[in-house]
Structure 1
């Protein structure tokens, strides 16, 4: 099975090596060829266009946002015109429900398969093959893709034959993560201003009522005030809250917390801190509490 992989950012560059390790012929594409050098040295081929990476049975995209996916699929020498009939596009990006629906329709019309398979996990989890994958699409196409998904993650959760349902589940999960980070940020700002040791507080939380990986990971980042390098940026967090709110409006579901968290990410972006990890909500809460007068981001 020949596989293409498009998008070698922090997540894609951690995922693609698993396909080579599994012995699959791999062709990769990225806007910056330099990011593909390690993969090329391990045996991957480099394609100079998205279409060039979509010549096999499966092509995977792991891209930043709707605009990048649209350009890669529908643009000149894009996936849609190059992917053979019967081959499958696996979209692992966090994109809008509306775009996922459009992709499913376009690929079906072209005689191609389409699966949405966004992931939960940061780059370190991707590198360890420990991602959780949320997948949806036609059953026969999912069956073909499942061995590939198993190379990239520790478990795949299936949500039916409508590909866009996987994207809605992913957006709802990112909303819960962001809401948890905001809650942790405010709690740490409260106890920190009272002079309580932040790491002792973290130990209490994560060894008693809040032992989930989300609390441990993001509570640890906030306690350490370690917001670089980012595993997932505040700017991307803002993007995902917007996509969740778009889906909520379409379904007529009020999401007041999502609106609040979206504004918090926007505040970070307005201060030039959009490229910090999204756990930098902790830095924002500390500043709002009057406990930190340093700029949210260095001015350059």
Structure 2
């Protein structure tokens, strides 16, 4: 295959993953991009975006980042270098200096507070009305909050909002989505899904997606626990999952449960899972769409962990949401966080 043919194939593959035509020249590469929120997900997304731009868009300004805990910003700058990461002193600096602002924050209250800071900073800055800005909200929030954020941002001249909580599922202004799509694909995500102009659709889709992940974790927890009680053991069930249902989330969370790897600083924290589950249940109730209670085992795991912390017996400062298996284990009379105490194995005959 000729070099020209390879290039055309690459373009066709890229287009099949992105429903938008490319932005007009000079395009996205000259934009000053800001990022607020460097938690478990935000850190990885910001890092991938900064690395990709540094490699594929030489001369692009460094990604301007802010995080409530400054050490996370400093860690990212140390990892990638000052040519790729610049640290902002406040959300106000991000709003005033950037053409595109991404946010990935812990919960609805924090998201609204940061966007109010953005809006207040731009309203008192005379120069802000002459600059186009796109705000991209990537946190997991309740859908109605998107409308509140839109009210804040739409009152600022030349500013638009895009919701993109599941990489890369987007809702909002069409031209803004086009710009963002080519920033994120393939730097952060593989494919764009466009859900139209209603900003609430993308957060709704994210909750539906998270319900699938949570449901699969719950299923693994119950099946692993049953296997332990039956004297078969969770490792054999994990092998079955790998052979028959090798979805990345199933396999990865199965491994965490199997090895009691419940460190939430290296995954998705349990409290974040409880927040998402609360949103899912609220949405299901409002839409009269019955859904099983998703967070009973998470609450049990958190209660056990809290008691261990008070006694100074905890193994992890923060729990990963895969630790919900502790709820299923304790309900079955097993140790919640230490599977080595389970007497479960298949005895093979000679």
- TM-score, normalization by structure 2: 0.74
CA 1:251/1:201 → structure 2, altered by over 3 Å: closer, same or farther? Answer: closer
Q: Which structure 1 residue ranges, 5 or more long, are not aligned?
A: 120-131
Aligned partner of 1:29 among 66, 76, 79: 66
Structure of larger gyration radius: 2
The 3-state SS of whatever aligns with 2:168 is: strand
| Change in 2 beyond 3 A, CA 1:186/1:293 | closer
8 A Cα contact 1:58 1:90, kept in partner? yes
Deviations for 1:80-126, whole angstroms, at most 9, x for unmatched residues? 6476553110011111101112112321232311111113xxxxxxx
Q: Residues 293 and 283 from structure 1, CA distance in 2 versus in 1: closer, same or farther, beyond 3 angstroms?
A: closer
The answer for the alignment partner of 2:325 in structure 1 is 282
Q: Quote the residue 1:168 is aligned against.
A: 204
- 1:93–1:80 CA distance, 2 compared to 1 (3 A): farther
- Name the CA distance, whole Å, in 2 between partners of 1:158 and 1:79: 30
Matching of residues 87-102 of structure 1 within 5 Å: 87-102=133-148
Output the TM-score relative to the length of structure 1: 0.85
Against the structure 1 CA distance between its residues 289 and 80, is the aligned structure 2 distance closer, same or farther, given a 3 Å change threshold?
farther
Contact 2:91 2:114 in 1 (8 A): yes
Q: 1:78 to 1:91 in 2, by over 3 A?
A: farther
Distance (Å, rounded) in 1 between the aligned partners of 2:201 and 2:74 = 35
Measure the CA separation in 2 of the matches of 1:173 and 1:253: 15
Flag the 1:110–1:236 CA change in 2: closer, same or farther, 3 A.
Answer: same
Following the alignment from structure 2 to structure 1, what is the Cα–Cα distance between the partners of residues 276 and 115?
A: 20
Preserved contact between residue 49 and residue 78 of structure 1 (Cα < 8 Å) = no
Shift of 1:79: 6.5
Q: Give the SS at the match of 2:318.
A: coil
Give the match's secondary structure for 1:241.
helix
Contact 1:19/1:152 (CA < 8 Å) preserved in 2? yes
* Alignment of structure 1 residues 1-80 onto 2, 5 Å: 1-21=31-51, 22-23=53-54, 24-25=60-61, 26-41=63-78, 42-43=81-82, 44-54=85-95, 55-75=97-117
Aligned length: 280
CA distance in 2, matches of 1:17, 1:294: 32
Preserved CA contact (<8 Å) 1:50 1:78 = no
Partner residue in 2 for 1:124: none
Q: For 1:211, which of 225, 231, 246 is the aligned residue?
A: 246
Q: Which residue of 1 aligns with 2:3?
A: none
Q: Which moved more, 1:103-112 or 1:163-172?
A: 103-112
Aligned to 2:191: 155
C-alpha distance in 2 between matches for 1:228 and 1:173: 23
Q: 1:293 to 1:286 in 2, by over 3 A?
A: closer
Provide the secondary structure at the position in 2 that maps to 1:155: coil
What's the Cα RMSD here? 2.3
Per the TM alignment, residue 188 of structure 1 is displaced from its structure 2 partner at its CA by: 0.6
